[in-house]
Every structure is written in structure tokens, then in C-alpha cells.
Structure 1
Amino acid sequence: MKLNEAFEYYKKFVLQKPKQISTEVGRWDIHIAPVLGAAALEEIKNLQIVQLRNCLESKNLSPQTVSHCLSLVRRVLHRAVEWELYPGPVPVFRMPKFDNRRLRFLSASEANLLLQTLHSQSELWHDVVLFALNTGMRAGEIYSLQSFHIDFQHKIAKIVDTKNSLSRMVPLNEGAMSVVQKYFRMSGS
């Protein structure tokens, strides 16, 4: 069995969400299939994985993209063994290490310019951005806020739909409270 055939099974039985399907199929078709897709599962050894990694890195892809591609190959091979499409073993290989964090803040003048521009265009977007700038909350967290998440007395927002699935409390300063009071009613009112 070829690696491309194993990926077709993986796509059919593992990938469920449309975005997940398009992302993984895109990675496969663009980056993996041209290099390893036609290889028989038994032929894929550490050397072939190193060649794939070198090929990906030579395209100047981000380390995160290289890692996603290698991880996808690993997952497909593990499933192929699990589904008894081939006896294995799955090659053991190192994943690229990287620090993908970016630390960037708007300056006060950039934030003011953004808010002025938005105020002239849309009051709602001005308020959303004002709230985001004052709380540091992500867009999805802001959009999912409900009035019962706001503690008006203590000026705190409870965030329950976070990126890492851990709830947290966010203090609300004067700017954030002005937005909260505009769009939410105090509980019991």
C-alpha cells in the first residue's frame, strides 16, 4: 500500500470538520504527496522522513508548517499500523523545535488612531476594539460574552470559552466597563 492510499483512509475515517479536512488535505497535496505520496508504506524509513523535512525547509516554510506536515505523516503512519494496513514500525523522528510566540503591542498613538478611524466607521466595531484593547481578550472570547459572565460589582469578566479551555477572570477597567454598561444589563435589572 502507498502512503497516498493510507492518507485516503485517514481522510475518510479521521478527518471530520470541513476546516480540518481542507487544512490537512491542502498540506498533504501541496507538501507531502509530491515527496512521499507514491512511496510504499514499507519503504518509508527515517531517511525518507529526513528528506521530506529537508524538502519542506528548502521551501522556506515556517517551522510550525514543517512540524504540522511531519506530524500529519506520523499520524497517518500510526493509523496505518493501527488499521493493519502495514505491520510497521513507524519511523521515529525528531520534530523541529521553534518558538512561535510574537510579542507586539500597539503604541498609544496607534491605538488612538485605530479607535478614531473605527469611531467614524462603526460604533459597534469601535466598542469591540476598545473593549479588546482594555482587556486583552481574544475576539472569540469577546463575541461569546453574556451578561451573566460580567460581575458588575467587582468589575470582572469571567471568560469560559478560552483557547486553552481554561476559564479565567479578567479585570475590567474604566474603558472596558463603559462598553460593558452600554451593551449588558446588570443581573437582576
Structure 2
Amino acid sequence: MGESTKAKISIKEGTIELEGSESFVRGYLDEFKELLKTPPRPETPQQQYQKSKAPAPKKAQAKKSATPKAGAGKKSAPKVSMERFDIHGGGDIPSLEVYMEEKKPGTGNGNIIAVIGHYITEKLGEDSFSEGQIEYAYKMLKIKRPNHLRQIMINEKNKRDLFEANAADSTKWHLTRAGEIFVSDTLPES
């Protein structure tokens, strides 16, 4: 068995390890010395362009498609799906449109959401209302819907305490006592 020569190079833990005959190791060491002597050349604009147009490896493409597109450190808001409910009323229950005209909530999203929630829970007798039902009401009433509905609801909950999320299901909401009093006794504002 011949002699074995080892060489270990660590340019800030880039690490290259060679093992073999002395001539084998020396050949590669000489090659690496030359590479280290010449500074790397900056890429030409043509090389940069070609690099940017090169297709990503298949594994990276599969991984990209599995994650939602969002900025670094940002999460995209969950999509709110519309949930239909009876907005037409009947008998002694007014339609949602008539109820909104009666309560005159104004243009503030917190007031509008509180009135819609009050209609669903008090007039229709539901235990709670959902973001999807609020989405549906905005669409059917032809009111400009806020872009980040869930965040608007959370902000309004924290600011005015008119409604709060259900502890068991965070997509369900109910009016607080303050919200019930606000809609039934304060609206329409004089």
C-alpha cells in the first residue's frame, strides 16, 4: 500500500479535503492556488440576464408552488368565503336592506358589521355570525367591502368592543352586550 497524502483547505469553512497520492493532491493544490490568486470576475450584464432567465430546478419549483406568494415575513390573509343567509326577511322580520336603512349605521365598517351581526343574531335568531355572512351582506347591499375584512373586525373588536370572536371557532363572531345596546338603543344616531 502506497503513502497517502492529505490536504485540507478551509476558506472560512468553504472546506476542500483531498486525499490520495502525493502527485494527485499536489495537482489539485496547484490548481486551487491559481484560482485563489485571481479574484473572481464580476458577471457581465449578459451573464446576469441569462442567469435570471434560467429555469429553476424542479424541486425548487414544486416548493415554490406549495407556498403562497407573499412578501418576506408577511402572511397573506385567509380567504373569506361568502355564506348565504336570508336577507329578504318575511312576516314581521324586515329585509336586511330595510333594517340597514332604519339603523343608519353610516359608513364606518365597525357600525356596519355590528348592524349586520345584530340582524343575524337578533332578527334571524342565530347564535353567532360569520365572516362569510358579513362578506355576503356587503356584496348583497352593494357596500364597498374592506380589503382585509377579518383584520377590520379584529381592529374594531379591540377598539370599541362591539363584537368578539367565538372562543371555539375564530371564524364565528357574536355581539357583546355593548354591541347589542349600541345597535338597539343608540342607532340611528341623532
TM-score range, shorter chain: under 0.3
1 or 2, which has the higher helix percentage? 1
TM-score (norm 1): 0.23
Q: Which has the larger radius of gyration?
A: 2
